[in-house]
Amino acid sequence: MNIPFIQFNKFGIMVSSGLILITLVSLLFKGLNLGLDFTGGISLEMKYEQKADLERIRNSISKIENSNFVVLNYGSDNSVLIKFQSDEELSINAQTVIDQLSADNYLGEVEKSETIFPQIGEELRDQGGIAILVAMLVILVYIIFRFQIKFGYGAIAALFHDVLIILGIFSIFSLTFDLSVLAALLAVVGYSLNDSIVVSDRIRENFLDDNKKGSSEVLLNDSLNQVFARTIITSFTTLLVLIALLVAGGEALKNFSLALAAGVVVGSYSSIFIVVRVLMLTGLSKKDMEKPKNEPEESYSLD
């Protein structure tokens, strides 16, 4: 396999730059469609004797003025979870929903109801953002010690790229951004890091091999060709599982699966184009890979 990745690199960076620009514009003017986990509201669990008619429940709740709700099954077709947005005064509460369903003669057995306060949602959002930033910082430190600081720059650039693209998808298409999507973002950070480390390890191995001749671009291209098949196979098998979740996982896992699926695709792409572009811009050479004379030899083979 001898795909000229380096020749396509500039085109890939142009595509990424365009997507990031669109993402930033969308986030600035449109923002994210935050779910009830962040905006606050109520969570109501009900159970019906027979399969619940979700459409009938939705039609009933939609009669409530300024309603913003999510209705889905959980556990079984008989169990229903209703998440309903309220305001800071909580003028729309669990009893409001219960009364409306009762008036329409379609109230199930109420098993549990709880209030999600907006202040708690804001705290969860802030802590989630901090968690992602801390993860990136720890990753940078790890890669600096494991490889070389230039690889750290590439990995962090790829992570920012992947997270921004996923945020852009949810912003542009007004998809609900809730705690499950935030969890998916953290999983994408780990997946993207794994791909970046595999690529970086192969690049370092080739740069350390005295038998490998050629310019830095030649060695980078050889390294990408060597890991390309592994990256494609890993991404494809992971996507099969995520597609199954999208199809059969129900409404509760829809956005989580979508965010992960997008992260797998974008993460594989960024490890090939973004990481390598940063290494090229920082002028990675064989000299950067030279070890101190007293450092013991170590095997870096992926085989």
Q: Could you give the angle at the alpha carbon of 251 between the alpha carbons of 248 and 257, nearest 5°?
A: 65
Asked whether 85 and 68 are in contact (CB, 8 A), the reply is: yes
| CA dist 240 → 9, 220, 247, 261 (Å) | 27, 30, 11, 9
Containing H/E element for 279?
helix 251-281
pLDDT tens digits, the chain, 303 residues: what are they?
Answer: 678 888 888 888 899 999 999 999 999 999 888 877 777 778 888 988 888 888 888 888 888 876 678 888 877 788 888 887 765 555 677 888 888 888 888 888 888 887 766 665 667 667 777 877 787 778 778 777 777 788 888 888 888 899 999 999 999 998 888 888 888 888 888 888 888 888 888 888 888 887 777 788 888 889 899 888 888 888 899 899 998 888 877 777 888 999 999 999 998 889 888 988 888 888 887 777 665 444 444 444 444
For residue 200, the one-letter residue type is S
| CA dist 199 → 11, 149, 234 (Å) | 20, 15, 13
Task: Show me where the domains of the chain are located.
Answer: 5-33+121-289, 41-116
Interatomic CA distance for residues 182 and 187, integer angstroms: 9
Beta strand pairing call for 33-34 and 176-177: parallel
Which CATH architecture does the domain made up of 5-33+121-289 adopt?
Answer: Up-down Bundle (1.20)
Domains 5-33+121-289 and 41-116 share a fold: no
Q: Is 277 exposed, middle or buried (0-12, 13-18, 19+ CB in 10 A)?
A: buried
Domain 41-116 CATH assignment equals 3.40.50.1000? no
Count other C-beta atoms under 10 Å from residue 52's C-beta.
21
Place of tokens 């209030």: 115
